[in-house]
Each structure stands twice: as C-alpha cells, then as structure tokens.
Amino acid sequence: MLAIATFGIPILGSLLALLADRVSGLLRNAIAVLTVAATLIYVLLLIPFAGTASTYLLGSSAIPGFGFEFVIDGLGVYVAVMAALVGLLIVVYSVGYMRNYTHLGEYYFLVVLFIGAMMGLVLSANLLLIYIFWEVTAICSWRLIGFFRDPQHLKSADTALLMTVFGSFCMLVGMEMVWHETGSLSIASIRGHTVSDTAMLLMFIGILAKSAQVPLQIWLPAAGVAPSPVTALLHAAVLVVIGVFAFARIFIGAFSLPPNWQTITSVVATITIFVASGAALVENNAKRILAYSTFGQLAYVYLGFASMTVVGIVGGLVFLLAHSLAKAGLFLAIGVVEHQTHTKDIRELGGMIKVMPVTAVAFILCALTIIGFPPSAGFVGKFMIILGAVEGGKTVFAALAVFGALMSIAYMLRLFNAVFMGPVPSHKVTEGTRGMVITVALFAVLSLLAGIAAAPLLDVVNVLAKQMFG
C-alpha cells in the first residue's frame, strides 16, 4: 500500500488545499507544504523495496491487457525521490514568491496534484496507466502556464497543451498497436517482445513532445511566462522529466532499444543540443535562456540512454539528478531577480551580485553543475555519457556532444555576466524573502553534495541501470 499512498496523499492533499483556501491562506499553505513533505517521506520509505522490483495489482479491470498495476523498482523510486524533493523545495519557495498574487487556492491545488500525478506515473507498471497520469500532468501544466490569465500567457499555455496532447495522442495510438502486437499493456508482460517500428515511432513522438526535444520543442521556451516556481517545476521536477522517464521505462526497460532506434535517438539528441545552445546564445530573456538550456541538457540524457551501455545509462541517470537540482536552483534564482526587479530582460539587468550575493553565488554554483564543471555531479554525468557513447560505437555523437558542452559554457557565462556582474543598479534592489533565498541556496548546496557524494551515488545508479537491463 506504500505505492498507493505515495500518489494518493498528494492527490488528496491537493483537494484539501483547495478547500482550505476558503478558510485561511495560512492553512492552505501549510497543507500544501505538509502534503508534499509527507509524499517525500513515503517515497523514502519505498527505497528498501526498490531492489525487489515488486509489482502490485489494485483490483481488476474489464479491459484486456490493462490493470491498475504499480511497481516499486529502482528507476521509479529514483525518479520519485528526485521529483518529490525538488517539488517540496519549490512549494516552500512558493510561499514567499506567490504571497501577493490571487487565485492561490487554484495554484496550490494544481502544483500538488501535478506532483501526485508524477508519483503515480513513475510507479505505474502498465502503459495505459502511465498514459492516464501523463494526461493529468498535461492539464496541470496547461493551467499553471496560463496562471496570470494574460492573453499572451494563455496563448503560450494553449501551445503547450496542443503540442503535448498531440504527442500523447500519438503515444496512445502507439500503445494500442503494442496491445495488438503483444496482447498486453503490462510492462512486465511486454518485456522482451519486439514491436513494429511504427508503434515505436508513435510512442517516441509522445516522448519527444513531453521532453521538448527537436522538432517538438517550441512550447517549452514560451512556458516561461508562468510564475518562476512553475517554470522550475516544469523544467526540473515533473514535466520534462516525465519524457525521459518514459523513454527509460518503455524503450530501454521493455524493448531494449534496438540498434536503429539507438541511432535515431542519438541524431535527435545531438540536433537538439545544437539548436538549444544556438538559441540560448542569442536570447535576451533570462527564463527563455534557461528553457533552451533545459531541453538541450536533457538531450545529453537521451544520448547516454541511446548508447545502451551501462556506463552511458548510469551517466544519463546521474546527470538527470544533477540537472533537476541545478536547473531548479537556476530558475528560482532568476525568479528572485525577476520578483525584485520586475524584468527578465538581461539587457535591463546587471550588478545583482552586489545586492543579491547569496542568490548570485547559488546561481553560479548551479550553473557550474549544468555546464559539467568538475567535480560536480554534472561533470560526472556528462563524462560518463560521452564515454558510453564512445563505448557504444557512437564516437561522432560523442565528439559533437563535447562541442555542445563548450557552447553551454558560453551561454551560461553570458547569462551570469549580464544579470549579476557590472555596475550596481540605480534602482533599489534587495534579496528576496528569507524562504526564497534559503531555498535557492539549498539547491546550490544539494548540487554540490551530489558531486561530492559521486562515489556512493554511482554505486546506487549502477545497480539501478543493471536492473533496467534485467
């Protein structure tokens, strides 16, 4: 029942937060924070069972091949811990950042429900069940992106919804083809089967749309109109991570990624790295620069997975953790700057390190993790991804990935220099609220700790990768 409680608690808590909003804002905030904290505790309680890959069936179903099946395994628990931890810190940050806005009952309801859907998705052991939670996250992200109700914001939200729902429709058709070809939607039952390239392609389109890989990436930079805690949630904790997770669960865990799909994935990932880096180098909106960085850096994870080597997959999983922690810190740091200066345009910023020293230091530490500067976990992950690509016979892709990493150094340093360096701003600016600044600093510290603890982290992820091949 631990698996059921892990997603059941946030789903119930989201409803309670919505009801509490009618009574007290303080009660609403407390319920939201405590609910996500309880979710994290339950996820941590799953860790001892992760090595057994235990599957649980809840009730029965009249649909052939479908069941309410949940699995507690290394991949699911790893991603769940990551999402719950990042989600909790984002909700804590939200208390200070969002306090002067309206519609906060709706905000906390959607954020907590979003996290609950993520928990259900990563623990699902049936393709159709994964799809159900997949669609819940799409609806939550649509409403959160359009939270400010500005016509332009609503247009961005609609773009995100249309793009991701198009992808999920393709995925659903692909899943239906898998059912026809294998007779089941249970991941345990279809493992080891070979399915048609058409079914693989349709599911791949859904995954690309959710994780904003080329050519389905246009919705993610536009989603930066959302409040900064929402962009951090989308980019680091939940939405784009779902695509990476689904690729690992379905393409590697179930179908062992055939050689032709290894090449296709590597090509898409490499193109995405260069498209994202080129766009980030000329963009002037700070949040859009970070958005380009998100799908560009996630492409490294796909490249590691596409190697189909243990070292590449381990590198991809380590870098996914490093990216989640560091990218959340970067978005929330820029959120502090935007909250205090009311602008995201880097041409209007500068000198923030003199008035926001904690935020500035946290930003550069998180940026170094994303860049892959040693000895950060970002360096460990990227290095292993490149080694995995070489070991898997994809030397050209490995060389291009190194060049892409150099481009990421250029755009991250450009962003830091434009926002934090230079003369002191003429208008009065101070650090954000204590809770906001502490949260940003925590993400920087966690990013550092992930690098310092690389040895035990690698031991854990090695076991996880071997279980996936299992």
Give percent above pLDDT 90 in the chain: 71
Residue 125 tokens, joined: 């052991």
At residue 3, the pLDDT reads 77
- Domain membership of residue 450 (yes or no) is yes
At residue 188, the pLDDT reads 87
At residue 57, the pLDDT reads 65
- Domain membership of residue 269 (yes or no) is yes
Tell me how far apart the alpha carbons of residues 62 and 350 are, in angstroms, rounded to a whole number.
61
At residue 85, the pLDDT reads 95
- Domain membership of residue 433 (yes or no) is yes
At residue 205, the pLDDT reads 96
Tell me how far apart the alpha carbons of residues 427 and 138 are, in angstroms, rounded to a whole number.
39
Number of domains in the chain: 1
- The residues pairing with 186 across neighbouring beta strands, listed in sequence order, are 126
Amino acid at 20: A
Mean pLDDT of 339-348: 90
Mean pLDDT of 405-433: 88
Tell me how far apart the alpha carbons of residues 330 and 252 are, in angstroms, rounded to a whole number.
30
> Which of 139, 141, 269, 284 is closest to 217 using CA atoms?
269
Side-chain-side CA neighbours of 377 within 13 Å: the count stands at 30
Tell me how far apart the alpha carbons of residues 418 and 363 are, in angstroms, rounded to a whole number.
13
At residue 62, the pLDDT reads 55
- Kindly report the number of other CB atoms within 10 A of residue 444's CB atom: 25
Contact 344, 338 (CB under 8 A): yes
Kindly report the three-state secondary structure assignment for every residue of the chain. Answer: CHHHHHHHHHHHHHHHHHHHCCCCHHHHHHHHHHHHHHHHHHHHHHHHHHHHCEEEECCCCCCCCCCCEEEECHHHHHHHHHHHHHHHHHHHHHHHHCCCCCCHHHHHHHHHHHHHHHHHHHHECEHHHHHHHHHHHHHHHHHHHCCCCCHHHHHHHHHHHHHHHHHHHHHHHHHHHHHHHHCCCEHHHHCCCCCCHHHHHHHHHHHHHHCCCCCCCCHHHHHHHCCHHHHHHHHHHCHHHHHHHHHHHHHHCCCCCCHHHHHHHHHHHHHHHHHHHHHHHHCCEHHHHHHHHHHHHHHHHHHHHHCCCHHHHHHHHHHHHHHHHHHHHHHHHHHHHHHHHCCCEHHHCCCHHHHCHHHHHHHHHHHHHHHCCCCCHHHHHHHHHHHHHHHCCCHHHHHHHHHHHHHHHHHHHHHHHHHHCCCCCCCCCCCCCHHHHHHHHHHHHHHHHHHHCHHHHHHHHHHHHHHHHC
pLDDT surpasses 60 at 59: no
Mean pLDDT of 104-115: 96
Mean pLDDT of 32-39: 97
- Domain membership of residue 354 (yes or no) is yes
Tell me how far apart the alpha carbons of residues 236 and 440 are, in angstroms, rounded to a whole number.
13
- The residues pairing with 54 across neighbouring beta strands, listed in sequence order, are 72
Residue 276 tokens, joined: 């994202």
Mean pLDDT of 189-209: 93
Provide the whole-model pTM.
Answer: 0.94
- Give burial (CB, 10 Å; 0-12/13-18/19+) of 292: buried
- Domain membership of residue 303 (yes or no) is yes
**Domain around 279:** 258-470
Contact 345, 285 (CB under 8 A): yes
- Domain membership of residue 220 (yes or no) is no
How would you classify residue 51: left for phi > 0, otherwise alpha for psi between -120 and 50, otherwise beta?
alpha
pLDDT surpasses 90 at 469: no
At residue 63, the pLDDT reads 66
- Domain membership of residue 178 (yes or no) is no
Determine the Cα angle at 17 with ends 14 and 21, to 5°: 145
- Domain membership of residue 326 (yes or no) is yes
For residue range 140-166, what is the model confidence (pLDDT) as tens digits?
999 999 999 889 889 999 999 999 999
Confidence of residue 464 (pLDDT cuts 50, 70, 90): confident
Classify the C-alpha dihedral 225-135-330-265 as positive or negative: negative
Residue 366 tokens, joined: 């998180």
Confidence of residue 468 (pLDDT cuts 50, 70, 90): confident
Averaged confidence pLDDT in the chain: 91
Mean pLDDT of 386-406: 95
Tell me how far apart the alpha carbons of residues 25 and 71 are, in angstroms, rounded to a whole number.
36
Mean pLDDT of 84-92: 95
Report residue 57: phi and psi, to 5°.
-110, 125
Contact 237, 328 (CB under 8 A): yes
Only one residue has tokens 């990218």, namely 327
